[in-house]
Amino acid sequence: MGRRIVFDGDVAADVTDAETAIARLDMMATALVDTEALARILLRAESVASSRIEGLEVGPRRLLRAEVAQQLGEQSSDVTASEILANIDAMATAISGIVPGAPITVDHLLAFHRRLLSGTRLEDHAGRIRAVQNWIGGSDYNPCSAAFVPPPPELVPGLLGDLCRFCNDDSLPAVAQAALAHAQFETIHPFADGNGRTGRALIHFVLRRRGLAQCILPPVSLVLATWAGDYIGGLTASRYRGRAGSREAHQGTNLWIARFAGACTRAVSDASSFERRAQEIETQWRERLGRVRAQSATDLLLRSLTGAPVITTNSAAELIGRSFPQTSEAIERLLDTEILRQVNAGKRNRAFEAPAIIEAFTTLERQLASPQGDTRASKPARPRPAPAMKSSQGCRGPDDRLTLPRHR
């Protein structure tokens, strides 16, 4: 707190462009019928990406089916999917508690972290500030060869308090504030695990608190995962040594903010393309069906499938607020026209998925994985999600690759 941040001209323009793009998507979303569907799909995309940066690889179809099985009370053996679902739940709960203008507190961060790790193998660390030294990269045994060593544990509580005070100061543009808050959180590295996911959630806390993104969560983490080298390089540049007012400090800060702003702009662009594709798909569905009575179960279900492309009859009935028989009839109509197809959910239950939306979601992930936003122009810069190899212990298999150095 108290440090003066000065933007270079091109960086100021990048920040303005990013804020304009986020605000436009947020405003457009509030004017659309499927605002809630868009919010759900972007929440899922951002939560999955945040997990993926830390090495949890799961494709859209596998995750969606695991989500339905969980809703049915099935005990999942898919440890990776369960951890990502926990991330989605933690993000949704935390974001709903952030009110524009209200302060972000250390308790917010601890509550998110507690929910994130609850029920995982790391539950003992959930919601607890670390009491030992940690480091990024290098050896498991000591930090001598580490890429970065965070501050000692006795300094962490004070640094987190200072960070939250910065998050509650409105003197900087929201995108620049989110960039610096994320970088500072990752520098503090306050937890034994889950720092990356919590730090990326903090981005959305700041954007929501400032009122910039009240309805949507632009999938910034998917872009940061694609630009992994630039992402790490930008964070490193922001961790200067020496005087805070030095030329090197100024350049490092501006470099990081520019890269972060670019990632925000790119995330909004790709999210907008998904939204347009989803609207095209719904139009095609309605043409295939013919006459659909307004506010009927079929009409409401068509609107809802974008955000919930894998459903059961019960979950769909709850989603659209119609009776079980009405919903069942609508599902049968969509099955007959091949808008939906039946799949298994768990051991005994039927589920139904909308392949066109799942394919569009997969295309969004592929697009975001391409450095230039087009897989025809530039190949994906990171691995596509691959199913984990099953083992008797239900652990992640070798296909669950890490894309960044592991956070200890």
pLDDT in tens, the chain (408 residues): 457 899 999 999 999 999 999 999 888 765 554 556 666 777 777 776 666 666 566 666 777 777 777 776 666 667 777 777 777 788 888 888 899 999 999 999 999 999 888 877 788 999 999 999 998 888 888 888 888 899 999 999 999 999 999 999 999 999 999 999 999 999 999 999 889 889 989 999 999 999 999 888 888 888 888 888 899 999 999 988 778 888 899 999 999 999 999 999 999 998 888 888 888 999 999 999 999 999 999 999 998 898 888 888 988 999 899 999 999 999 999 999 999 999 876 556 688 999 998 888 888 777 776 665 554 545 555 444 333 233 222 233 322 222 233 333
Instruction: Give yes or no: residues 229 and 291 share one domain.
Output: no
pLDDT at residue 263 in the model: 94
Domain end residue (candidates: 256, 272, 288): 272
* Residue 374 domain-assigned (yes or no): no
3-state secondary structure the chain: CCCCCCCCHHHHHHHHHHHHHHHHHHHHHHCCCCHHHHHHHHHHHHHHHHHHHCCCCCCHHHHHHHHHHHHCCCCCCCHHHHHHHHHHHHHHHHHHCCCCCCCCCHHHHHHHHHHHHCCCCCHHHCCCCCCCCCCECCCCCCHHHCCECCCCHHHHHHHHHHHHHHHCCCCCCHHHHHHHHHHHHHHHCCCCCCHHHHHHHHHHHHHHHCCCCCCCCCCHHHHHHHCHHHHHHHHHHHCCCCCCCCHHHHHHHHHHHHHHHHHHHHHHHHHHHHHHHHHHHHHHHHHHHCCCCCCCHHHHHHHHCCCCCEECHHHHHHHHCCCHHHHHHHHHHHHHCCCCEEEEECCCEEEEECHHHHHHHHHHHHHHHCCCCCCCCCCCCCCCCCCCCCCCCCCCCCCCCCCCCCEC
pLDDT at residue 122 in the model: 82
- Joined together, the tokens standing for residue 110 give 């601890």
pLDDT at residue 54 in the model: 62
pLDDT in tens, 230-251: 999 999 999 887 788 888 999 9
Instruction: Give yes or no: residues 263 and 282 share one domain.
Output: no
pLDDT at residue 35 in the model: 57
pLDDT at residue 399 in the model: 27
Question: Which are the contacts of 94, defined by CB distance < 8 A and separation ≥ 6?
Answer: 108, 111, 112, 115, 201, 205
Domain region containing 216: 9-272
Instruction: Give yes or no: residues 107 and 206 share one domain.
Output: yes
Domain end residue (candidates: 272, 289, 313): 272
* Residue 351 domain-assigned (yes or no): yes
57 phi and psi angles, rounded to 5 deg: -100, 115
* Residue 164 domain-assigned (yes or no): yes
Tally of domains in the chain: 2
Q: Which residues share a beta bridge with 351?
A: 343
Sheet with 349-353, strands from edge to edge, namely 310-311, 349-353, 341-345
The CATH number linked to 61 is 1.10.3290.10
Instruction: Give yes or no: residues 97 and 56 share one domain.
Output: yes
* Residue 408 domain-assigned (yes or no): no
Q: Dmax of the chain from CA atoms?
A: 69
Domain end residue (candidates: 225, 254, 272): 272
pLDDT at residue 66 in the model: 76
Q: Which residues share a beta bridge with 311?
A: 352
Instruction: Give yes or no: residues 317 and 190 share one domain.
Output: no
pLDDT at residue 384 in the model: 47
Instruction: Give yes or no: residues 72 and 129 share one domain.
Output: yes
- Joined together, the tokens standing for residue 343 give 């799949």
pLDDT at residue 387 in the model: 30
Instruction: Give yes or no: residues 236 and 298 share one domain.
Output: no
pLDDT at residue 19 in the model: 97
Instruction: Give yes or no: residues 194 and 242 share one domain.
Output: yes
Instruction: Give yes or no: residues 210 and 332 share one domain.
Output: no
* Residue 400 domain-assigned (yes or no): no
* Residue 366 domain-assigned (yes or no): no
The owner of tokens 């998507």 is: 25
Q: Specify the amino acid at residue 396.
A: R
pLDDT in tens, 154-189: 999 999 999 999 999 999 999 999 999 999 999 999
* Residue 13 domain-assigned (yes or no): yes
The CATH number linked to 318 is 1.10.10.10
Mean per-residue pLDDT of the chain: 82
Instruction: Give yes or no: residues 133 and 201 share one domain.
Output: yes
pLDDT at residue 75 in the model: 66
Q: Specify the amino acid at residue 346.
A: G
Instruction: Give yes or no: residues 213 and 109 share one domain.
Output: yes
Q: Which residues share a beta bridge with 345?
A: 349
Burial group, residue 59, by CB count within 10 angstroms (0-12, 13-18, 19+): middle
Nearest to 204 by CA among 308, 97, 335: 97
Question: Which are the contacts of 143, defined by CB distance < 8 A and separation ≥ 6?
Answer: 133, 135, 149
pLDDT at residue 259 in the model: 96
Q: What is the dihedral sign for C-alpha 210, 213, 217, 222?
A: negative
Strand 310-311 with 349-353, pairing: antiparallel
pLDDT at residue 219 in the model: 85
Instruction: Give yes or no: residues 257 and 340 share one domain.
Output: no
* Residue 14 domain-assigned (yes or no): yes
- Joined together, the tokens standing for residue 325 give 């028989």
